């Protein structure tokens, strides 16, 4: 099917055609609650006013704003834009689900990547410092075999211990991490 763009405003230059199509698209979006005919009339009234006051963005519209062909083409473009807006609103549920799915996939990939990488020196030193301040032995996790994810979880449970003040729970979490890693 031939595009609407190639069938309208063929009497304008490429630049003028591009400008008016972009502007109409935005204008239709702002006034999408109106009917196509109302948007057309509002646009013509607005542009006529702007041309009379000399503040129109498109001074070349003075030659075509009252032209019947221009108004027919404009109405076709407005109807097309209204249709596109309605389709976009109908598909919003699906696009939102797709965005959520992709977000979950990125989080899962990051999780898997952390599980494969060795921890950084900064992470190890932070873990050791936390263990020292909490009076927990550093050897609860084998730092040689631990991954970034293991250390991240261990540090998270150590920091959460500040909230709970429950050393037994932290030690149990750390032991569980060790057992999971050894399996």
Tokens linked to 42: 């509002």
Question: Residue for token digits 């890693």?
Answer: 181
pLDDT in tens, 124-133: 888 888 888 8
pLDDT at 6 over 90: no
Residue 92 CB-density burial (10 A; 0-12 exposed, 13-18 middle, 19+ buried) = exposed
Q: Where are the alpha helices (DSSP H) in 31-67?
A: 36-53, 61-64
Domain boundary among 113, 146, 165: 113
Q: Would you say the C-alpha torsion 102, 103, 108, 110 has a positive or negative sign?
A: positive
Domain boundary among 113, 144, 174: 113
Q: Are residues 11 and 97 located together in one domain of the fold?
A: yes
pLDDT at 2 over 80: no
pLDDT in tens, 148-177: 888 888 888 878 766 555 566 667 777 777
pLDDT in tens, 7-54: 888 888 999 999 999 999 999 999 989 999 999 999 999 999 998 898
Please give the model's pTM, rounded to 2 decimal places. 0.60
Residue 1 binned pLDDT confidence (cut-offs 50, 70, 90): very low
**pLDDT score recorded for residue 141:** 79
Tell me which residue range forms the domain holding 63. Answer: 5-113
Ramachandran angles phi, psi of 164, nearest 5°:
-95, -25
Strand positions, DSSP E, 17-156: none
Q: Are residues 97 and 36 located together in one domain of the fold?
A: yes
pLDDT at 183 over 70: no
Residue 8 CB-density burial (10 A; 0-12 exposed, 13-18 middle, 19+ buried) = buried
Domain boundary among 86, 113, 140: 113
Tokens linked to 108: 């899962």
Q: Measured between alpha carbons, how far is 99 from 107 in angstroms, rounded to an integer?
A: 12
Q: State mean pLDDT over 94-112.
A: 94
What is the share, in percent, of the chain residues with pLDDT greater than 70?
Answer: 91
Residue 99 binned pLDDT confidence (cut-offs 50, 70, 90): very high
8 A C-beta contact, residue 150 and residue 176: no
8 A C-beta contact, residue 151 and residue 141: yes
Compute the half-sphere exposure of residue 150: CA atoms within 13 Å on the CB side of its CA: 23
Q: Are residues 79 and 62 located together in one domain of the fold?
A: yes
Q: Are residues 100 and 19 located together in one domain of the fold?
A: yes
**What's the number of domains the chain is made of?**
2
**pLDDT score recorded for residue 103:** 96
């Amino acid at each position: 099917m031939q595009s609407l763009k190639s069938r309208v405003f063929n009497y304008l230059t490429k630049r003028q055609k591009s400008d008016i199509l972009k502007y109409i698209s935005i204008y239709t979006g702002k006034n999408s609650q109106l009917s196509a005919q109302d948007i057309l009339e509002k646009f013509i009234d607005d542009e006529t006013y702007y041309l009379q006051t000399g503040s129109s963005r498109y001074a070349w519209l003075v030659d075509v704003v009252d032209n019947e062909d221009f108004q027919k083409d404009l109405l076709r473009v407005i109807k097309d834009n209204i249709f596109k807006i309605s389709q976009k609103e109908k598909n919003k549920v699906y696009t939102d689900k797709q965005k959520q799915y992709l977000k979950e996939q990125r989080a899962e990939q990051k999780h898997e990547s952390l599980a494969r990488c060795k921890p950084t020196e900064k992470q190890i030193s932070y873990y050791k410092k936390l263990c020292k301040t909490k009076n927990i032995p550093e050897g609860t996790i084998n730092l040689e075999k631990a991954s970034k994810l293991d250390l991240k979880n261990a540090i998270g449970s150590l920091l959460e211990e500040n909230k709970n003040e429950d050393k037994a729970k932290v030690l149990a979490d750390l032991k569980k991490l060790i057992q999971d890693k050894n399996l």
